[in-house]
Homo-oligomer: A and B are copies of this chain.
């Protein structure tokens, strides 16, 4: 009961925090706890208005009318079963006329679905294409992440319903008995309006506020994988003007550059970032970073995060970004740079600290002349200028993110939407069709997954050099907890394929080279691709884990202050 009450309060609180004021309720049994707590909220908060309409079909059209006035999402609440189906006519109308509605459909609990329970219809995606999104929340799951998720998700729902083209979102809420909430208990504090809704251009006042932040606080810029053609020059100019360190993801297209820091993931793993380098504020650009550690670190240290960019609003799986700005990133950068006045910031020590750390880190990890998976990643700096490097998922992208400092202009590309290992060769061939010198860094398992893609190199007359790190199987799993399950590990995760890369090269009429030293790899990488070439570097999964561990230990020892 306590969990249910807490979660419903978060759900309703988040709706109101993000700007919702109007609710239309069609009473019923299953919706009891939501209805009661909503009544309590309305009794205590003047801005919240609740209307009751017993016929759900009518209620849907009533909510539509209110939203036509306010241009803000109106929330509907119904009990389970055919009651929820009655909204469809109003949903269809709202969808086409771009009226934001949020429909809370309470439902029978999941354990009663589809097995003949009374009053239980399939409410999953009930409004089909007429709702913009369908989400389902578990209000009875007791887990701190869940409550935080409800907060974040419901604010996101308000944003999504309002974002052009505005429309309808169904939030399905399975609930099991007992349904009575605890009344007259404390309501939680919810972050105020987290999403700057639908603003394509910030106001002068907004920009002035941001400038204040840039000049008066310790700021960090974090750039994830680039999918919006972020203007690198503008970003680096901003960094220079306000002396801001830039943590740049391997796929950010921002490396190399003044103030650009590499390897955040391994620096965090080694725990060598001093307290005084922790920023007050972070401006986050781009998609989810390759580093899995950087967002939790910001959260732990309670750094205020502004997430910038129209593609990324509500896409912070750390559920921590306090403000998401729906704005064209390049336009915002230009606005910030256009602002007159000189920065008055004085924390040069802060930037200097970051740069010193970065420098020492680079010196330390680039000493090694032995061929290992990390030094393979480093060696990619030898690729010719204007080369394109497609990096496969799993280990290669992680090593590139931590250990590659490009020296020439280098475009780094990967498939980091869903991080799959499928179709990698075909994607790299797609990249290579533009005629630029193209390289692919890939493990043997990922290579095997799309081996047919090699045929395209010949059929389409492509030039592609593939660097295959052959550790005979799924190398990344050796870093994960399942590596402990020795009896089953190799069959289920290691999956050694015993591929003979030379024979693959033969089959696809490609050149083949086996490399075992760093200088010979360097020499190979300087060559411009011609037809298909497979460069095999044999690695060992167990040894690779040790190599990575030793590196972390070394960083810990040398860079700890």
A507: which B residues are within 8 A, CB to CB? Answer: 500, 503-504, 506-507
A449: which B residues are within 8 A, CB to CB? Answer: 452
CA distance A559 to B142 in the complex (A): 80
Q: Are B93 and A89 in contact (CB under 8 A)?
A: no
Q: Are B88 and A93 in contact (CB under 8 A)?
A: no
A500: which B residues are within 8 A, CB to CB? Answer: 507
Q: Are B451 and A452 in contact (CB under 8 A)?
A: yes
A419: which B residues are within 8 A, CB to CB? Answer: none
A483 at the interface (CB under 8 A from B): no
A57 at the interface (CB under 8 A from B): yes
Q: Are A82 and B92 in contact (CB under 8 A)?
A: yes
CA distance A121 to B95 in the complex (A): 9
A163 at the interface (CB under 8 A from B): no
A436 at the interface (CB under 8 A from B): no
Binary flags per residue of A451-463, CB closer than 8 Å to B gives 1, else 0: 1100100010000
Q: Are B122 and A125 in contact (CB under 8 A)?
A: no
Interface residues in A109-125 (C-beta closer than 8 Å to B): 120-122, 124-125
A91 at the interface (CB under 8 A from B): yes
A130: which B residues are within 8 A, CB to CB? Answer: 85, 121-122
What are 24 A-B contacts defined by CB distance under 8 Å? A57-B57, A81-B92, A82-B89, A82-B90, A82-B92, A82-B93, A85-B88, A85-B89, A85-B130, A86-B89, A88-B88, A96-B120, A96-B121, A121-B130, A122-B128, A125-B128, A128-B128, A448-B452, A451-B451, A455-B497, A459-B497, A500-B507, A504-B507, A507-B507
A482: which B residues are within 8 A, CB to CB? Answer: none
Interface residues in A61-97 (C-beta closer than 8 Å to B): 81-82, 85-86, 88-93, 95-96
Q: Which of A89, A122, A125, A452 has the most CB of B within 10 A?
A: A89
A506: which B residues are within 8 A, CB to CB? Answer: 503, 506-507
Chain B minimum-CB-distance residue to A503: B507
Question: Which A residues fall within an 8 A CB radius of B?
Answer: 57, 81-82, 85-86, 88-93, 95-96, 120-122, 124-126, 128-130, 448-449, 451-452, 455, 459, 497, 500, 503-504, 506-507
CA distance A404 to B92 in the complex (A): 58
Q: How many copies does the complex hold?
A: 2
CA distance A455 to B129 in the complex (A): 42
A92: which B residues are within 8 A, CB to CB? Answer: 81-82, 85, 121
Chain B minimum-CB-distance residue to A451: B452
Smallest Cβ distance from A237 to chain B, in angstroms?
42
CA distance A130 to B88 in the complex (A): 13
A88: which B residues are within 8 A, CB to CB? Answer: 82, 85-86, 88, 126
Smallest Cβ distance from A28 to chain B, in angstroms?
14
CA distance A480 to B129 in the complex (A): 40
Q: A121-B130, A452-B448, A497-B455 are in contact. Are A57 and B82 (CB under 8 A)?
A: no
Smallest Cβ distance from A524 to chain B, in angstroms?
23
Smallest Cβ distance from A127 to chain B, in angstroms?
8
Chain B minimum-CB-distance residue to A459: B497
Query: Which A-B residue pairs are the 9 nearest by beta carbons?
Result: A85-B88, A82-B89, A503-B507, A85-B89, A92-B121, A88-B88, A122-B129, A128-B128, A85-B92
A93: which B residues are within 8 A, CB to CB? Answer: 82
CA distance A507 to B499 in the complex (A): 8
A125: which B residues are within 8 A, CB to CB? Answer: 128-129
CA distance A90 to B503 in the complex (A): 63
Option from B86, B121, B455, B503 in Cβ contact (under 8 Å) with A503: B503
CA distance A125 to B126 in the complex (A): 11
CA distance A82 to B93 in the complex (A): 7
Please name 5 further chain A to chain B contacts, defined as beta carbons within 8 Å, in addition to the given A82-B93, A121-B130, sorted by A numbering.
A82-B89, A122-B130, A451-B451, A503-B503, A506-B507
A451: which B residues are within 8 A, CB to CB? Answer: 451-452
CA distance A93 to B449 in the complex (A): 47
A452: which B residues are within 8 A, CB to CB? Answer: 448-449, 451-452
Smallest Cβ distance from A451 to chain B, in angstroms?
6
A504: which B residues are within 8 A, CB to CB? Answer: 507
A120: which B residues are within 8 A, CB to CB? Answer: 96
Smallest Cβ distance from A503 to chain B, in angstroms?
4
Smallest Cβ distance from A532 to chain B, in angstroms?
14
Chain B minimum-CB-distance residue to A458: B498
A96: which B residues are within 8 A, CB to CB? Answer: 120-121
A85: which B residues are within 8 A, CB to CB? Answer: 88-89, 91-92, 130
CA distance A90 to B121 in the complex (A): 11
